[in-house]
Structure 1
């Protein structure tokens, strides 16, 4: 429940803090978080990082607010497999982490998170069946906070 609340709160904060002149769906050339979605590079400059106890929550939003990427990790852990609960939202469709998440966290301190990730994410129809699958590859993040 905390995860859902943080996700909603971070999205609301980003929506209210972004200026009206944002027109590009990708971030700047030095975006702190980037990933390929089905082969198309997405860059996120609007990134919020929240440390709550030992849990680190990351929420990134495209400048036109049509795409959101979020994930979690545990403070202090580095190495393979420490990015989890990957979610991707595009045009109000939520894609949940599937079976094939990979990650390597290089730096994980109280003021910086750096690493790489990839995942398969899935949306579901009203019957609970997989509706669409997206592949996230070459994900990179370098997030001072």
Structure 2
């Protein structure tokens, strides 16, 4: 029988993700780090729980929350986390999405269906946002 100290910590479960022409190793994040992220961004917990989050609020937190998850999944914490989050926020959106998906799947193995659901919600959100920002098809009067 294993004892608590014999169990490998969350950070030992890793995978490699293609990023910017290279590869970046990401890891499963611990429950403590997940809790910290949910405390910083409670809307993520709401979204995962099936609650509707105002689209503009998602826009406000998306980059920062993704960057925080990526930094945690790359093993950064404490003082290093701030610099890692700033670097993660500057990555291409495709790289960010690949990293977030890989970290989420490692951290929450049964997340596959939930991640697909989240992608569908993001698509709907983007469509709604596009409708809100689309200019009206009004012709300007001629003088």
User: TM-score, normalising length from structure 2?
Assistant: 0.30
Relative to its length, the structure with more strand (as a share) is 1
Structure number, greater radius of gyration: 2
Higher relative contact order structure (alpha carbons within 8 Å, sequence separation ≥ 6): 2
User: TM-score, normalising length from structure 1?
Assistant: 0.29
